[in-house]
Structures are given as structure tokens and as C-alpha cells.
């Protein structure tokens, strides 16, 4: 692990950087979720450093949000320190044989950017609605690809010693839907491989992935993608389908008929009722198959 040095010259302005009572339900893919008491919007290294060097800052617990496509904050809200990266962290820079991608860059944007630059390997990101930060945290993936396959290193801020580090992917233990999940850290950038390819091939693959998704998963509904991780050698959707009754497919929070590991919910529905719905599914599967499904959705609170 190597440390990256930088010079800080800016201070934080409360009216630009601080959002009090940030309503996650307004922005989350589920259109549900409690408030974040204090959310700081951070646009560059200097603001980050300035925030964490404040004497009065209390960092009991930290929540970094990306595009909120895999997060549900319970109704009581989050009382710790919320961080959202923007600005400099929403840029992609191409160097000779790697790309430096900010944590706030959206997966879909990166995929289209790569297409424009004839860079192949990022077609699968076209269909994932998260950000690169959330993606590196989750080791997100689909169609037999995961972000770890493309990563060279992760650049992150350690809120304990207030320093920036770079760590090589070979020294990190990424696993299925478990990426860089180190406590008290903020993922700032991913350094990614660059492989050039044929633009038509890239475009067709992106379209193919989008078509598969349209056919197999619900579209234009409030959802979080897969609720549960697939247990080893098993499909969560099959375990769910064979454990529940028809009532789970009806009501304001309901499983998708297209894909039983997805649910759809009405907007502004209580986050705690979604949590309960998920626990009920977990219990049914456990009773029937003696398997405790592990949530892929991050539930905060």
C-alpha cells in the first residue's frame, strides 16, 4: 500500500457543501428511505481534507453514498456523517495504459465513455445503475464479469489518519459482491485497465446486455436489483420461488413476477416495511431450504 500526498488549499463552505436532513427517498432507486442528518457534498481533495481536519467534526459513524441503487436507509434515518462525492470525483482521465476513474462516475457513463474511446471490457457496466465508488465497494458485476477483473488499484481516503492511499488489486480480497469494504475509508478513484477494441463490437455487446436485461428483469419500477446474493451453486430466485406463496407477489411491496429475487415497491413506502418484507422472505427460505440468504441490498440503521 502506498501513500499519495496532496496539498490542501480550500476550505469548506456550509452553504455549498452541507445538506441538512438529506432525504434519501428522493434520490434512491427504491424511492424509499430515511434522512441523513448531515450530508457533506465533497468536490475535491482539499474539501475532503478540510472537512476531516475540522476540530469539531464527530466521526462516530460514516456513510458514503454513491447513486443509492443498492442502499436503503431505515425510517429512523442516519445520524452519523454522510458523504457524497461530486466534482473532481466525477471525471475520467485516460493515461497511456490505464484510466483513472472517479468514484462519482456512473457505471453507465463510463461504459459509454469507453465505447467512444474504443476501450473494451466495460460493456457490462452499461446495464448497472450504480457509481464506480458503489461498484468498487460491492464488486458489482453481471454476465460473468466483475469490477475486480478490470481494476488495477483502489485509491482511498482513510478518515482515521486523514491520508490518501493506493492499494493494488492483488493485495485486496475481492469476492462475489464483496469489494473494498474497509471501515472508515472513502473510495476516491479506481485505476482501471485499458484495452482497445472494435467500436462496433463494443456497441453490439452493450446492446446485447441491455436486451437481456429487458427480457429478464423488471424495468422502470422502484427496485434495488437483486435483493439477496446467490448462495454457492444455487440461485436465490429459485430458492425464493419455491418457498413463498402467491401473497408475496401482491401489495405495495411485491416480488417481481419476472424475477423472484427482485421486488418492486410503491414510492415513499416505509423503509422499515421493506426491511420486514425482506426478512419474511429470508425466513420462508430458511424454513423450507435451511439456507439463510444473505442480503445484497445494504440496509443502513
Ligand X SMILES: Cc1cc2nc3c(=O)[nH]c(=O)nc-3n(C[C@H](O)[C@H](O)[C@H](O)COP(=O)(O)OP(=O)(O)OC[C@H]3O[C@@H](n4cnc5c(N)ncnc54)[C@H](O)[C@@H]3O)c2cc1C
The residues carrying an active-site annotation are 177, 226, 296
Q: How far is the CB of 144 from ligand X (least distance, A)?
A: 11
CB 277 within 8 A of CB 288: no
- Taking the least distance from each CB to ligand X, the nearer of 199 and 301 is 301
β-strand pairing of 141-142 with 98-102: unpaired
Which residue bears the cell 431450504?
289
Q: How far is the CB of 96 from ligand X (least distance, A)?
A: 26
Q: How far is the CB of 129 from ligand X (least distance, A)?
A: 5
Q: How far is the CB of 117 from ligand X (least distance, A)?
A: 22
Residues that bind ligand X (CB under 6 A): 29, 63-71, 85, 103, 128-131, 133-135, 137-138, 140-142, 186-187, 223-225, 298
Cβ partners under 8 Å of residue 75, min gap 6: 34, 270, 271, 272, 301
Cβ partners under 8 Å of residue 289, min gap 6: 239, 242, 243
- Taking the least distance from each CB to ligand X, the nearer of 77 and 133 is 133
Cβ partners under 8 Å of residue 240, min gap 6: 228, 255, 260, 261, 281, 284, 285, 293
Can you state the percent helix, strand and coil of the chain, rounding each to 5?
Answer: 30, 30, 40
CA–CA distance from 1 to each of 48, 155, 177, 186, 191 (Å)? 21, 10, 23, 15, 14
Q: How far is the CB of 88 from ligand X (least distance, A)?
A: 13
CA–CA separation, 264 and 219 (whole Å): 10
DSSP code of 18?
E
Q: How far is the CB of 66 from ligand X (least distance, A)?
A: 2
- Taking the least distance from each CB to ligand X, the nearer of 29 and 115 is 29
- Taking the least distance from each CB to ligand X, the nearer of 29 and 248 is 29
Its sign, for the CA torsion 176, 177, 178, 179, is positive
- Taking the least distance from each CB to ligand X, the nearer of 112 and 298 is 298
CA–CA distance from 99 to each of 123, 254, 289 (Å)? 15, 40, 45
- Taking the least distance from each CB to ligand X, the nearer of 115 and 262 is 262
Amino acid at each position: 500500500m502506498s501513500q499519495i500526498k496532496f496539498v490542501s488549499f480550500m476550505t469548506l463552505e456550509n452553504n455549498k457543501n452541507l445538506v441538512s436532513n438529506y432525504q434519501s427517498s428522493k434520490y434512491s432507486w427504491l424511492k424509499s428511505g430515511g434522512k441523513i442528518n448531515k450530508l457533506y457534498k465533497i468536490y475535491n481533495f482539499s474539501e475532503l481534507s478540510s472537512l476531516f481536519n475540522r476540530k469539531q467534526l464527530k466521526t462516530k459513524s460514516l456513510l458514503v453514498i454513491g447513486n443509492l441503487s443498492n442502499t436503503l436507509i431505515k425510517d429512523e434515518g442516519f445520524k452519523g456523517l454522510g458523504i457524497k462525492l461530486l466534482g473532481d470525483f466525477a471525471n475520467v482521465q485516460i493515461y497511456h495504459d490505464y484510466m483513472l476513474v472517479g468514484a462519482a462516475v456512473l457505471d453507465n457513463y463510463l461504459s459509454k465513455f469507453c465505447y467512444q474511446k474504443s476501450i473494451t471490457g466495460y460493456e457490462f457496466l452499461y446495464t448497472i445503475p450504480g457509481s464506480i465508488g458503489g461498484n468498487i465497494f460491492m464488486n458489482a458485476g453481471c454476465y460473468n464479469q466483475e469490477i475486480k477483473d478490470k481494476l488495477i488499484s483502489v485509491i482511498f481516503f482513510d478518515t482515521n489518519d486523514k491520508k490518501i492511499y493506493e492499494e493494488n488489486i492483488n493485495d485486496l480480497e475481492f469476492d462475489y459482491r464483496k469489494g473494498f469494504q474497509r471501515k472508515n475509508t472513502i473510495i476516491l478513484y479506481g485505476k482501471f485497465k485499458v484495452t482497445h477494441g472494435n467500436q462496433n463490437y463494443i456497441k453490439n455487446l452493450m446492446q446485447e446486455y441491455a436486451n437481456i436485461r429487458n427480457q429478464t428483469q423488471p424495468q422502470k419500477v422502484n427496485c434495488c436489483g437483486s435483493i439477496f446474493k446467490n448462495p454457492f451453486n444455487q440461485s436465490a430466485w429459485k430458492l425464493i420461488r419455491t418457498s413463498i406463496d402467491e401473497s408475496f407477489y401482491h401489495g405495495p411491496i411485491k416480488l417481481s413476477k419476472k424475477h423472484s429475487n427482485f421486488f418492486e415497491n410503491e414510492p415513499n413506502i416505509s423503509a422499515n416495511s421493506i426491511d420486514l418484507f425482506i426478512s419474511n422472505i429470508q425466513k420462508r427460505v430458511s424454513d423450507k431450504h435451511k439456507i439463510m440468504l444473505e442480503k445484497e441490498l445494504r440496509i443502513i440503521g
